[in-house]
Chains A and B, each alone.
Chain A
Amino acid sequence: MRSKSLCCGVVFLAGLMSAAMSAAQVSKQNSNLSQLQDAAQAITAGNLSRADSDLQSVLHAAPEDYRALDLLGVVRVLQRCETEAGELFRRAIEKKADFAPARAHLGLLYVQQGHPDEAVPQLREALRIDPARGDASSALVRILQDQAQAAATTGDSKTALALLMEARKYAPDNPDVQLELGTIELKLSLWQDAAEAFQRTLRLRKNDPLALYDLGRAFMGLLDYEDARQQFARYVAVRPDDASGYCALGMTLAALQRAPEARDQFERSIALAPEQTESYFRLGLIDLDAKDLDEADKNLRLALARKPKDARALSALGNVAFEQKRYSEAIDLLQQAIAGDDSLREAHYYLGLTFARVGRKQEAEDQLQIATRLEHDEAEHRRIVFQMQDGPARDANSSQPQK
C-alpha cells in the first residue's frame, strides 16, 4: 500500500486541478453563475476564504446547486475538513448522480483517507461518465496497481491479471502498468500476451532492461528462440555487468543448438558471478550433449557443491552416471533428484532406462510411464496455454495448430 502522505498530495493537487476544471466548465455552461467561477479561480489561487464566501453565497440562493456543493467540498479538503468534504461531495452526487467531478473528488478523498476499496467505485463511475478525467484515472490506476501487487503477493495471479488489465485500459501509455501486466502474464505462462506487453513497455520506455529481459523470457516460452536471443543480447548491452543476462543469453543459444556460443556466455556469467550455480549446470548439460562426460560431471558437481539438493543437477549427474554405465550410482542420484522434485521428467526417464539396463523391468516400466505421463501433461499444458491465447472463440475440439 502506498503511504498516506503520498495520497494526500495526490488528492491535494488533483483537487486544485479539478476545481479549475470545474470552473472552466461552469463558465462555459452558465455565465450567470459567475460566482462559481470566481470561487473556482480563488481555489486555484489558494484563496480559500474567498472561495468559501462565494460558494456560501451561491448555496444560500440555491441550496441544491451540486456544482457549488462540489467546489465547497474541495475547499473543505484543502482546509483538512475531510468529514465535511465527504458529506458535501455525497450531497452533490445525490443531487446529480452523473456529475463526474464530485465522483472523482469523493474517490480521491477516499484515497486520501486510506480507503481505496471505497474510492474505486467512485473513480470508476467518474471515468465512466468522463473518460478524460486524468485525476480519476491516475488515482484509480495506482490503486489497481497496488491491489494487483497485493494479489500477486498472495499468489492470486488471476486477480492480479484482471486488475492490471483494467489499469491498462485507463492508462495504456503507462510503461509501468505495461511492465507489471507483462510480468503477471509471464507468471501465468501467457507468453504471447506477455510478449506484447513488454513490447509496448519498450515502445514507451526504450531499452528498459527489465522489459528486455522479460521479453526474452516470453519469447522463450513461445519457443521463439531467435527473438529471445536478440532480447537478451540487447539486455547484456544495457547491463553488461549482470551475470544473469549472460546466463539467459547462453540458454537461448543452447536452445538454438549453438553450443559453443552458449558455452562462451555461461563462462562470462561465471566470470562475473563465480558463486552461482545455474551457469555451471548449463555448462554441464552442454558437456552431456557433447558426451564429454568427465567435463559434465565436473560442472554438475560444481553446481551441486553450491546447492547440494538441486534436483535438476542431481538428475543430470544421474544421467552422466547412466551414460558411464555406473548404474548403481545413477539410480541413487536419480532417486535423490525425484525425491527433491517428483515432477522432473528427465529423472524418471533416466531412472527407467537405468532400471531397464539392470534388469529391473517392472520398475523400469513404472518410471518410463511416469516420464511419458509428465511429458504428455507438459504438452497438454502448453496446448491449453496456446488455446487461452487464441481467445475464447475456440470450441472444445480445438487444438493447437500443429500437426
Chain B
Amino acid sequence: MEHRSPLPSCYTGPLGTAKFRSPMRSPNKTSGTILLGAVVVAGIGLAFALQALAALDPQGSPTPGHFVEVTEKLGIHFRQQASPTSKKYLLETMGSGVAVFDYDNDGRLDIFFANGARLDDPTPKGSIPRKDNPKYWNRLYHQKSDGTFEDVTERAGLTGFGYSTGVAVGDYDNDGFEDLYVAGYGRGTLYHNNGDGTFTDVTAAAGVAGSGWMTSAAWVDYDNDGRLDLVVARYMQWDFDDIYCGRRESGFRSYCHPDAFKPESILLFHNDGGGKFTEVSHKAGIDKPGKGLGLAITDYDHDGFMDILLANDSMPEFLFHNRGNGTFEEVGLTSGAGLDSSGNTFAGMGVDFEDYNNDGWPDIIITDLANQRYALFTNQKDGTFDYSTAVTGLSPISLLHSGWGVRFVDYDNDGWKDLLIVQSHVIDTIEISEPGLHYREAPLLLHNERGKKFVDVSARSGEVFHQKWAARGLATGDIDNDGKVDAVVTSNDGPAWVLLNRTDSPNHWITLNLVGVKSNRDAIGAQVRVSTAAGDQFATVTTSGSYQSSSDKRLHFGLGTADSIGEIEIRWPSGIRQVLHDQKADRIVTITEPIK
C-alpha cells in the first residue's frame, strides 16, 4: 500500500502534542508511545538461466539499449504545431500522435504524424481551429527502398482538417490496405486507403465524424464479425473559454486541472459493412463519462472477446469488459485497475495492455504525472488486477516523472517485454510552481528483469535518453526490418524523432505478420503464444495503445538464445486456432488465417 502526502504524524510523539507556544515545548524524550496520526496521505530451467545470463552485460547489470536518433538523416522534418496562446487553452499542451504502418504494402513501415492547427489568441468559443497553413498539415512520410523517407502528404490527400490529436490504423474494409482514422478537436476524419498511394476522406459517408475533444482512437472487432469497429476516446466537455488557472502573476498562468471540466463519454462506432458505421456507445453500455486520453485493447480474461481500457485523467481508470453480446460492463474499480494501491486516482495518460511477465495474461501500464508513479497492474488471471508499481521497482523510477506515450517493447530481444516511455510534464511553467519538477524530460527505458522488476537503463542507452523533450506521442515498430523494434516520438509544439534501435544483442527474434481471412484482415485481436526452450510468450495483435498513437500491427518477439520456435499458437478472433511448429528465428513471417 502506497501513501500520498503523508504528514509525519510522528510529530505527535515524544515532542509532546503540538504544544502551541514553542519555547515551552518539552525537550525531546524517547520514551512513551509514538502515536498513529491521520493517514493522508501510500523452478527455472537451465535454458532460462542461460537466457537470463545472456541478458546481462559483463558487469552483471542489464543490457542497456542503444537507440540512435536519425530523424533528419532519414528526411523527416515534421514539427507539431501546438499554437500556444496567452490563454493557456488546454488543447495546446496535449500534443498530437503518430502512426507507424505500411500503407502501400511494400514491406517497409511508413510514418504518419497528426498535427495541430491555428489557434487565435483569443480563440472564440465554439471555434473549430483551421489548418490554414501547410505548417499545420498532418504529414505522411513514405519509406523508400533505401530506408529514407519522402513527404507524400499532398499526393496522398492527407493534409487534414482541424486540430488533429490521435491516429488509429486499421483496414476497416478488409481490402488489404491500411486505412487511417485521425481524431481531432471537434471532428475526426476517416481516410480510406485507395491502394494507389492515395486516401479518400470518407468520414461523412461512414458516419464517424464524432464530436467534442477526441483523443486516442483504436480499431477493434468487438463483436468478432470480421469487421473492425472504431473506438474513440474523448477527453472532456471543453471549449475555448477564457478560464484563468494558476497564480495571477506574470508567468504563472497555467493550464487548468481537468477537475474544472465535466467528463465526456467514449464513442463506439460499429462497422456495419459497406463503408457504414453506426454509433452504438449507449447501446453497448460504453458511454460512461470519463476523461479519456489513452486507449488500449486486449482480451484480458480470455473469453474470446476484446476488452477496452481507457486511461482517464484524474478519475478512476475504465476497464470495459466485453460481455460477448455486444455490450460492455465497466469494471475498472471492481477489478482493481481503477485506482492505485491507496485508492487514489491518478492522471492517466498513456497506456499499454500486454503481458509483461509471460504468464499468458495481459497486464496494464498507465503513465501519469509526477508524484503519482506509473501504474502497473498485474493480471491476476481471475478478472482482477494487482497494483504492482512498488513491487516491480517502478515507484522510485517514476515518482518524479510525467509520462505520455508508453509501449511494452522487448528492445534487447531477451524474451521479456521492456518499457519505453516518453515523458514531459503537462504544464510548461511547472519549474516555477514546483521547482523540483521539469517540463521537458528525457525518455525512459526500463529493462524487464524476467517479469519481476524493471530496471532503469536509460542513462546507458544512448544520447537520446539524455535529451529533454516535451514528448507526447510514441509509436513503435521495426522500421528498418532488422529485428529490433524502433520508435517514433512526437513532441508538443516541437519536432518529432525517429529512434532506431541499435542495441548490441546476440539475441534472436521473430516478427509475425498475421493476415485474417474470416477474422478482420489486420487480425487485430488475434492472440499469439510463442514457445521456445526458454518458455512461452504471449501477445495480442493491435495497433492501439500508447498515447494518441498507432503502432506497427506486426507482432515482434525476442527469443533470447533460441534460434528456433518450437510452437506458435494463434487464436484468431474468428475462434479458429492455428498451431505452427518448428519455425526458424530471425525473420519476418506472414501467417494467413486458415479457412477452417
Point out residues on A near B: beta carbons under 8 Å. 145, 148-149, 152-153, 176, 179-180, 183-184, 187, 208-211, 213-214, 216-217, 220-221, 223-224, 226-227, 232, 239, 241-245, 247-248, 251-252, 254-259, 269, 272-273, 275-279, 281, 285, 288-291, 303, 306-307, 310, 312-313, 315-316, 319, 323, 344-346, 348-350, 352-353, 356-357, 361, 364-365, 368, 371-372, 374-376, 378-380, 382-383, 390-391, 393-395, 397-403
A223-B5 in contact given A213-B11, A257-B395 (Cβ < 8 Å): yes
Q: Choose one: B10, B255, B336; the contact of A278 (CB below 8 Å).
A: B10
Q: Do A307 and B33 touch across chains, with their CB atoms under 8 A apart? A: yes
Q: Choose one: A242, A272, A277, A313; the contact of B33 (CB below 8 Å).
A: A277
Q: Do A278 and B247 touch across chains, with their CB atoms under 8 A apart? A: no
Task: Determine how close the nearest CB of chain A comes to the CB of B77; give it in whole angstroms.
Answer: 29
Is residue B28 contacting chain A, with contact meaning CB distance below 8 A?
yes
Task: Determine how close the nearest CB of chain B comes to the CB of A288; give it in whole angstroms.
Answer: 5
Chain A residues, Cβ within 8 Å of B1: 285, 288-289, 316, 319, 346
A281-B36 in contact given A375-B343, A401-B252 (Cβ < 8 Å): yes
Q: Do A401 and B255 touch across chains, with their CB atoms under 8 A apart? A: yes
Q: Is the interface of B mostly helix, strand, loop or mixed?
A: loop
Closest residue of chain B to A316 (Cβ to Cβ) is B1
Q: Do A278 and B36 touch across chains, with their CB atoms under 8 A apart? A: yes
Task: Determine how close the nearest CB of chain A comes to the CB of B541; give it in whole angstroms.
Answer: 30
Q: Mark B335-355, 1 if CB is under 8 A from A, else 0.
A: 110110111110100000000
Point out residues on B near A: beta carbons under 8 Å. 1-11, 13-15, 18, 20-23, 25, 28, 30-37, 39-42, 93, 243-248, 252, 254-260, 313-316, 333-336, 338-339, 341-345, 347, 369, 371, 373, 384, 386, 390-391, 395-396, 399, 426-427, 429, 433-434, 436
Chain B residues, Cβ within 8 Å of A242: 14-15, 28, 30
Q: Do A303 and B259 touch across chains, with their CB atoms under 8 A apart? A: no
Chain B residues, Cβ within 8 Å of A368: 333-334, 338
Q: Do A244 and B334 touch across chains, with their CB atoms under 8 A apart? A: no
Q: Do B20 and A273 touch across chains, with their CB atoms under 8 A apart? A: no
Q: Do A397 and B252 touch across chains, with their CB atoms under 8 A apart? A: no
Of the listed residues B39, B246, B252, B257, the one surrounded by the most CB atoms of chain A closer than 10 A to its CB is: B39
Q: Do B257 and A403 touch across chains, with their CB atoms under 8 A apart? A: yes
Q: Do B5 and A275 touch across chains, with their CB atoms under 8 A apart? A: no
**5 A–B contacts from the bound complex (CB under 8 Å):** A187-B18, A273-B34, A289-B341, A353-B336, A368-B334
Q: Do A346 and B247 touch across chains, with their CB atoms under 8 A apart? A: no
Q: Do A255 and B34 touch across chains, with their CB atoms under 8 A apart? A: no
Of the listed residues A319, A365, A371, A399, the one surrounded by the most CB atoms of chain B closer than 10 A to its CB is: A399
Q: Do B257 and A371 touch across chains, with their CB atoms under 8 A apart? A: no
Q: Choose one: B32, B244, B252, B395; the contact of A289 (CB below 8 Å).
A: B395
Q: Do B7 and A221 touch across chains, with their CB atoms under 8 A apart? A: yes
20 more A-B residue pairs beyond the given contacts A176-B22, A312-B36, with a C-beta to C-beta distance below 8 A: A211-B22, A220-B5, A242-B15, A244-B13, A252-B8, A257-B399, A259-B396, A273-B14, A278-B36, A290-B390, A307-B33, A310-B36, A348-B343, A353-B336, A368-B338, A371-B339, A372-B333, A397-B244, A398-B245, A403-B427
Q: Do B8 and A352 touch across chains, with their CB atoms under 8 A apart? A: no
What 3 A-B pairs come out closest when comparing CB atoms?
A349-B343, A401-B254, A276-B34
Of the listed residues B42, B247, B343, the one surrounded by the most CB atoms of chain A closer than 10 A to its CB is: B343
Closest residue of chain A to B395 (Cβ to Cβ) is A257
Chain A residues, Cβ within 8 Å of B13: 243-244, 247, 273, 276, 278
Q: CA–CA, A112 to B315, complex, Å?
A: 60
A352-B334 in contact given A307-B36, A345-B343 (Cβ < 8 Å): yes
Q: Do A255 and B391 touch across chains, with their CB atoms under 8 A apart? A: no
Q: Is the interface of A mostly helix, strand, loop or mixed?
A: helix
Q: CA–CA, A34 to B12, complex, Å?
A: 61
Q: Do B15 and A397 touch across chains, with their CB atoms under 8 A apart? A: no
Q: Do A277 and B5 touch across chains, with their CB atoms under 8 A apart? A: no
Q: Do B5 and A401 touch across chains, with their CB atoms under 8 A apart? A: no
A217-B28 in contact given A401-B245, A402-B427 (Cβ < 8 Å): no
Task: Determine how close the nearest CB of chain A comes to the CB of B396; give it in whole angstroms.
Answer: 4
A279-B36 in contact given A226-B436, A401-B427 (Cβ < 8 Å): no
Q: Do A401 and B6 touch across chains, with their CB atoms under 8 A apart? A: no
Q: CA–CA, A14 to B69, complex, Å?
A: 76
Q: Do A224 and B28 touch across chains, with their CB atoms under 8 A apart? A: no
A275-B36 in contact given A291-B391, A375-B345, A403-B257 (Cβ < 8 Å): no
Task: Determine how close the nearest CB of chain B comes to the CB of A364; give it in whole angstroms.
Answer: 6
Q: CA–CA, A241 to B13, complex, Å?
A: 13
Q: Do B34 and A277 touch across chains, with their CB atoms under 8 A apart? A: yes
Task: Determine how close the nearest CB of chain B comes to the CB of A259; give it in whole angstroms.
Answer: 8
Closest residue of chain B to A392 (Cβ to Cβ) is B248
Chain B residues, Cβ within 8 Å of A379: 259, 314, 345
Q: Do A371 and B343 touch across chains, with their CB atoms under 8 A apart? A: yes
A210-B22 in contact given A290-B390, A349-B339 (Cβ < 8 Å): yes
A244-B34 in contact given A346-B1, A348-B343, A353-B334 (Cβ < 8 Å): yes
Q: CA–CA, A210 to B23, complex, Å?
A: 9
Q: CA–CA, A399 to B246, complex, Å?
A: 7
A375-B255 in contact given A397-B244, A403-B313 (Cβ < 8 Å): no
Q: CA–CA, A48 to B253, complex, Å?
A: 66
A278-B35 in contact given A220-B7, A346-B343, A349-B339 (Cβ < 8 Å): yes
A394-B248 in contact given A345-B343, A357-B384 (Cβ < 8 Å): yes
Q: Do B34 and A279 touch across chains, with their CB atoms under 8 A apart? A: yes
Chain B residues, Cβ within 8 Å of A394: 244, 247-248
Q: Do B32 and A273 touch across chains, with their CB atoms under 8 A apart? A: yes
Chain B residues, Cβ within 8 Å of A346: 1, 39, 342-343
Q: Do B243 and A224 touch across chains, with their CB atoms under 8 A apart? A: no
Task: Determine how close the nearest CB of chain A comes to the CB of B492; give it in whole angstroms.
Answer: 12
Q: Do A247 and B34 touch across chains, with their CB atoms under 8 A apart? A: yes
Q: Do B10 and A247 touch across chains, with their CB atoms under 8 A apart? A: yes
Q: Do A397 and B260 touch across chains, with their CB atoms under 8 A apart? A: yes
Q: Choose one: B256, B334, B384; the contact of A399 (CB below 8 Å).
A: B256
Q: CA–CA, A171 to B555, complex, Å?
A: 71
Chain A residues, Cβ within 8 Å of B391: 289-291
Chain A residues, Cβ within 8 Å of B93: 403
Chain A residues, Cβ within 8 Å of B25: 210
Chain A residues, Cβ within 8 Å of B243: 397-398
Q: CA–CA, A217 to B9, complex, Å?
A: 9
Task: Determine how close the nearest CB of chain A comes to the CB of B125; give it in whole angstroms.
Answer: 14
